Chains A and B, each alone.
Chain A
Amino acid sequence: MTAHAQAAHLETSTGLDNRKLAIWTFIGSECMFFATLISNYLVNKGRSLVGPYPHEPWTSPAGQHFEPIFEIPLVTLGTALLLFSSLFVVLALSGAQRGNRKALLGWLAATLACGIFFVGMQVYEFTHFVHRGLGFTTNLFGSSFYTLTGFHGTHVTIGVIWLATLWVDALRGRLQPHRALNLEMAALYWHFVDVVWIIIFPVVYLIK
């Protein structure tokens, strides 16, 4: 059987590790998953029969007034944190590959903190929106928005669990340089989740 992340000599046809190729293949497939969700959001844009709306105020037939639902400052903060978490996980990986356990643990913890904050921000945002009148079935905008960002948030959560598991591994001294590929795979997944948000943020929140 071919090597498991042993040092330099991989006997694969491409010279590349099976598992690294596998995670990239999965990421390629996930591009189509999120493309479809984003398409769904975009084709439904502007077609809601009732408000609340993302960028426009709305008064219901019953006379209730709704402000535009999006709150850009909070989501911008989350976006920035997610971007920084990508930086942090790269530094953590670098630490793992060089055998620097302190760097690994520190930067990975920072990554986790950002990821957890992002998820928390999303949960807060969702609850807040529901409070302000945008439920899942209120209108097409609500359904599409919650579905798209909800699936993204679920992916972030899975990433947090994955990275947290690796952090515990690192704490127990089980993430040595020759096993750094495990973190590299999780990091690639994490970056992809960040890259999807890089698209969602302007397309959903900033484009009217």
Chain B
Amino acid sequence: MATRVLDQHHAQAPAHGDKTGVWSWITTVDHKRIGLLYGATAFFFFLLGGVEALLLRIQLGSPENTFLSAETYNQLFTMHGTTMIFLAIMPLSAMFFNYLIPLQIGARDVAFPRLNAFSYWVFLLGGLFLNASFLFGAAPDQGWFGYANLTSKQYSPGLNVDFWTLGLQILGIASLAAAVNFFVTILNMRAPGMTLMRMPMFVWMSFITQVLLLLAFPVITVALILLMYDRFFGSSFFVPAGGGDPLLWQHLFWIFGHPEVYILILPAFGIVSEVLPVFSRKPLFGYAAMVFSGVFIAFLGFGVWSHHMFSTGMGPLADTFFALTTMLIAIPTGVKIFNWIGTMWGGSLQYKTPLLFAIGFIAMFIIGGLSGVMHSSPPADLQQTDTYFVVAHFHYVLFGGSIFGLTAGAYYWWPKMFGRLLNERLGKLHFWLMLIGFNLTFFPMHFVGLHGMPRRVYTYPEGLGFDLMNQIETAGSFVLTVAFLVFLYNIFQTSRQPANAPADPWNGATLEWSIPSPPPEFNFAEIPTVRGRDALWETKRQRGSTLPEPARVSGAGIHMPNPSYWPLVTAVGVLAVFVSLMVMGYTGVWGVAASIALLFLGVYKWAYEPAG
């Protein structure tokens, strides 16, 4: 272990301008801290979404159950979906974007540190706004996709849909701001020698994700605006009685919604593409193919959206077009799967927890991909749509895919972020419980779905053949609960260990493993020069040996951006604008005007503050 100067209160050496206390976190512009904030907040919402799911599973555990009322059930499945997508998976990915992208490209921070902080605060406030709906007994209850005209004022007179509409707008702002930031960071702040085709695969997949965010979110922003106008001002964009078309909502939503699912999976693809090579002691198979298949998936992802609408009577021409594009998009995905297997093939496999989750990811994602391809046939989908078969499919890709991938990333990068390795035995226990629990919960859904059990209904009658499967699924969800308790216990136990993990516990290939764990505020004492793909393996190869433990240096003379509270103020301004729209009945236009003034104040002060 390297010798380090230990501050008596903290386990890490004071770097330049090391700060402690709540205020330092509120004003932080350090990408690592912002990443940890995202992670903690997202993990909390993930557990909340999990509790919502558990309640759903208890209700569905037996036929004609009265554990939840229909209305409560509707609120819970809506919030479960909305929470898991927007408040869990996306911000967990954001944790990795924030923490890792600058480290992996050899930079000291992102391009716009204050904009980065702003994104986090807007996300936090948006998530709180969305969940505040529970306090009013008016949690969103229209499904995470909010189909018109159920969402019209006539059929949803309460605040539920308003919380959802405005909440998603707030979250959209966070995502767009972050996407601009990471897009510029990846293009512009790479270390010398790091050409695009030498970037770590996680950075590539993240880059493509940012492009998808930039192009898809504006579409749902408009859709939500139109819905808001229908509800608040009486327009009829989605109301047939006024000449509007409910199907337009579905088109606009899914033009966003389909790229959104690639936004949800690509970061996990990137993480798995990092973990597999390191734990196979072998470079990623087919790097270029991985890049181009990712780009192809993103581009084509804008041409498949109506496969969510095969039962709406679009007509045979539309059905055929989207069926073909959907089948086509399976190809680049298949390329990736073969390349991951090819990476492991002939490698020296180190069966540590990150690798187990990565392998689990591949297996589960294959299953999810297969059910997805089954959906791509319109006639087959007419049986599958709106049944549990679809629920099985997207849980296999989002849970078996994204969550398994993100969990692999958590175990892999935990030592870098916290200076402590998570316990291996508990990690393996977590993995097996999660794998078994997950499959118990979701595999039977393929069968009940094809047997006709519909989605989004709070109960089912006895004797339809659904009972046993649902019992198994509910039992599985409890196994999953135990899995997460094991994970929480692991985190807790690990936090009580000394933070003495080495810089490079896994023999990593990428630059983040060349600096101390956890890194100093300025990341790199000297910006590295990159000489090839898998930059760190290349460096180790050229040295002919492993690298010594990096020393902790003071970072004096390295100028880092100043902390600031204007991003938070501006974020509060954003929240205020949307809250004022919600309560316009009470505070009128003056409330909106005051909120806009607060927003302007935040922006002006931010703009004129020296960035440092």
Which A positions have Cβ atoms within 8 angstroms of B? 1-2, 4, 12-14, 16, 18, 21-22, 25-26, 28-30, 32-33, 36-37, 40, 43-44, 47-49, 136-137, 139-140, 143-144, 147, 165
Contact = CB atoms under 8 A, between A and B. Distances in A.
A33 B233 contact: no
B129 interface: no
Q: Most chain-A Cβ atoms within 10 A of its Cβ — which of B181, B222, B226? A: B222
A143 B236 contact: yes
Contact of A40 (B109, B188, B222, B611): B222
B222 A13 contact: no
Interface residues of B, number: 45
A49 B242 contact: yes
Nearest to A50: B243
Contact of B243 (A21, A40, A140): A140
Contacts of B219: 32-33, 36
B252 interface: yes
8 contacts: A1-B109, A2-B189, A29-B179, A33-B218, A36-B221, A40-B222, A44-B244, A49-B243
B223 A36 contact: yes
Given A1-B560, A139-B243, A13 B189 contact: yes
A123 to B, nearest CB: 16
Nearest to B255: A36
Contacts of B111: 2, 18, 22
Given A29-B180, A32-B219, A22 B109 contact: no
Contacts, number: 109
Mostly, the B contact residues are helix
A175 to B, nearest CB: 13
A47 B222 contact: no
Contacts of A16: 188
B236 A21 contact: no
Contacts of A43: 245, 248
Interface in B106-130: 108-109, 111-112
B561 A1 contact: yes
B176 interface: yes
Given A22-B112, A140-B242, A29 B222 contact: no
B235 A136 contact: yes
Interface in B146-199: 176, 179-181, 183-184, 187-190, 194
A165 B605 CA distance: 13
A154 to B, nearest CB: 11
Contacts of A29: 176, 179-180, 214-215, 217-218
Nearest to B192: A13
Interface in B208-243: 214-219, 221-223, 225-226, 229, 233-237, 242-243
B180 A12 contact: no
A2 B188 contact: yes
In this complex, which of A14, A16, A136, A143 has the most chain B Cβ atoms within 10 angstroms of its Cβ? A143
Contact of A32 (B218, B234, B237): B218
Given A13-B187, A22-B184, A37-B222, 10 more contacts: A1-B109, A1-B560, A1-B612, A13-B189, A22-B180, A26-B180, A32-B215, A36-B221, A137-B242, A139-B242
A115 B237 CA distance: 30
Nearest to A48: B243
Contact of B225 (A25, A30, A136, A147): A147
Contacts of A37: 222
B559 A40 contact: no
A133 to B, nearest CB: 16
A47 B244 CA distance: 8
Contacts of B112: 18, 22
A22 B180 CA distance: 6
A139 B176 CA distance: 32
A40 B237 CA distance: 9
Contacts of B189: 2, 12-13, 18
Nearest to A141: B243
Q: Give the most central of A25, A26, A37, A147: most B CB within 10 Å.
A: A25
B180 A25 contact: yes
A33 B188 contact: no
A12 B190 CA distance: 8
Central interface residue in A18, A48, A165, by most chain B CB within 10 Å: A18
A1 B108 contact: yes
Contact of B236 (A22, A30, A140): A140
A135 B345 CA distance: 67
A43 B249 CA distance: 12
A33 B256 CA distance: 11
Interface in B449-502: none
Contacts of B188: 2, 12-14, 16, 18, 21
The 3 closest A-B pairs by CB, nearest first: A33-B218, A143-B235, A36-B222
B184 A21 contact: yes
Contacts of A18: 111-112, 184, 188-189
B241 to A, nearest CB: 9
Contacts of A26: 180
Interface string B288-331: 00000000000000000000000000000000000000000000
Contacts of A32: 214-216, 218-219
Contacts of A1: 108-109, 559-561, 611-612
Contacts of A137: 233-236, 242
Contacts of A147: 225-226, 229, 235
A140 B238 CA distance: 10
Given A30-B218, A36-B252, A136-B233, A25 B184 contact: yes
Nearest to B604: A165
A48 B236 CA distance: 10
Contacts of B234: 136-137
Interface in B233-273: 233-237, 242-245, 248, 252, 255
A31 B465 CA distance: 51
Contacts of B223: 36
Contact of A21 (B187, B233, B237, B604): B187
Contacts of A139: 242-243
Given A25-B214, A36-B222, A37-B222, A143 B187 contact: no
Contacts of B109: 1
A164 B248 CA distance: 39
Contacts of B245: 43, 47
B281 to A, nearest CB: 30
A32 B218 CA distance: 6
Contacts of A140: 236-237, 242-244
A32 B187 CA distance: 21
B274 to A, nearest CB: 21
Contacts of A30: 218
**Residue with the highest number of chain A CB atoms closer than 10 Å, among B109, B111, B255:** B111
B28 to A, nearest CB: 15
Contacts of B108: 1
A40 B233 contact: no
Contacts of A28: 214-215
Contacts of B187: 13-14, 21
Nearest to A20: B184
A21 B218 CA distance: 19
A158 to B, nearest CB: 10
Contacts of A40: 222, 226, 237, 248, 252
